[in-house]
Amino acid sequence: MLEVKSLGKKYDQHWVLKEIQMSVSSGEFFSLLGPSGCGKTTLLRLLAGFEDPTTGEVWQDGSRIDRLPPHRRQFNTVFQRYALFPHLNVWENVAFGLRMKKVETRELTERVSEALVLVQMDTFFEREVSTLSGGQQQRVALARAIVNRPKILLLDEPLSALDLKLRRQMQVELLALQRRLNLTFIFVTHDQEEALTLSDRIAVMNSGVIEQIGTPQEIYESPKTEFVAEFIGSMNTFAGSVHEVREGEISLAGCSKKPLAVRPPSDGLRPLPRLTPLDSAKLMVRPEKLKVLKTQPGPEVNCLEGVLKEILYQGAMTRFLVSSREGGLTWMVEQPNTAATAKKIFQLGERVFISWLPEDGILLRSQGIGGQSESNSPLG
């Protein structure tokens, strides 16, 4: 439905977007995810027509649209601050775009009523927007966008102004609305959890480029670069060199007494990189893939010895910080809580063992696109 070809944007000799290539399918919930300043909002503005690209093209349904003004594109935008008219009530805010298009009164009434019902604001139609809560204002902004029946809805961090509990509630409502309307959503966010929760696919952006496009599972379980691996969720990371390459297994040396094994998972989602002995590489392991044990496990798993530095109770799970005696790194481990609390089982300062399956390690060449440092940074 939408195709972006070699799109770039330059301000005063500085490229804020470089060679953006992506396609979005009809009815897809597609997210642009990245830190502040990565270019995701600029990309959204180029798609909407609020900015002109320096290079590249944008195509929709087989027609080039990057030279069209915003009002001739079949898009609508929901902004971070909603941009509602404070002097108009809910009904008039939603009806504003249709009045500008001189839509006949009967059709206007039907479409506004339908939009307000969809966002559960039909009983608030006479309210002034200044009297509404943040969540209610967000619903009005959505209604004003969908009343025009766009083919693509662009959303620029529309939930960022809400508190955590309301934001999670609105995430569910937003996803339900998208599925009910079968609209194509392009959603900008810097919140990894939000992108993983809502998206069919995610484009992870960094310094004006797209580092990886994939499903939430692909992005989380099979990152292609160091930046993606360390930006999405928490990660334990350390550098080493390839010790041995065998059929279906690579072992890494330099961070433990015994080389650590890495194997691809059975689902085939994360194939091993092409490496040879002595190549520099990074081994990454998610905190929830690790276990903290009081006794040393068997040889079928990777294992490091360490000292328990901190136990952090966090409700559904407990976070352990373990200082490794091999390599001097600090590891983060997250384990679900059981009836017996972790503080009754473990004591600060005691010797423990960290273990994980070879299939749970992520192995990458050291020089990732993101250019992350060589230091171990589990706190992310």
Q: Among residues of the chain, what percentage have pLDDT more than 90?
A: 56
Say if domain 2-226 classifies as CATH 3.40.50.300. Answer: yes
pLDDT value at residue 81: 74
Burial call 73-98: b when 16+ CB within 10 Å, e when fewer: bebbbbeeebebeeeebbbebbbbbb
pLDDT, mean of residues 81-90: 84
CA distance 331 to 176: 38
- 51 Cβ neighbours under 8 A, 6+ residues apart: 9, 42, 45
Kindly report the pTM of this predicted structure: 0.85
Phi and psi at 114, nearest 5°, equal -60, -45
Cα dist. 55→11, 62, 171 in Å? 12, 19, 34
Tokens describing residue 19: 């060679």
pLDDT value at residue 165: 84
Burial call 287-318: b when 16+ CB within 10 Å, e when fewer: bebbbbeeeeeeeebbbbebebeebeeeeeeb
Mean pLDDT of the chain: 88
Cα dist. 243→122, 262, 276 in Å? 65, 11, 8
Please give the CATH topology (third level) of the domain spanning 234-365: OB fold (Dihydrolipoamide Acetyltransferase, E2P) (2.40.50)
Residue 158 burial (CB count, 10 A) = 25
pLDDT, mean of residues 250-259: 84
Residue that has been written with the tokens 């927007």 in this structure: 129
Residue that has been written with the tokens 């080039």 in this structure: 64
CA distance 368 to 71: 41
CA distance 184 to 204: 18
pLDDT value at residue 378: 35
CA distance 75 to 50: 12
Domain extents in the chain = 2-226, 234-365
Residue 213 has pLDDT above 90, yes or no: yes
Q: What is the pLDDT of residues 349-377, one digit of tens each?
A: 999 999 999 999 999 987 643 333 333 33
Residue that has been written with the tokens 């297994």 in this structure: 249
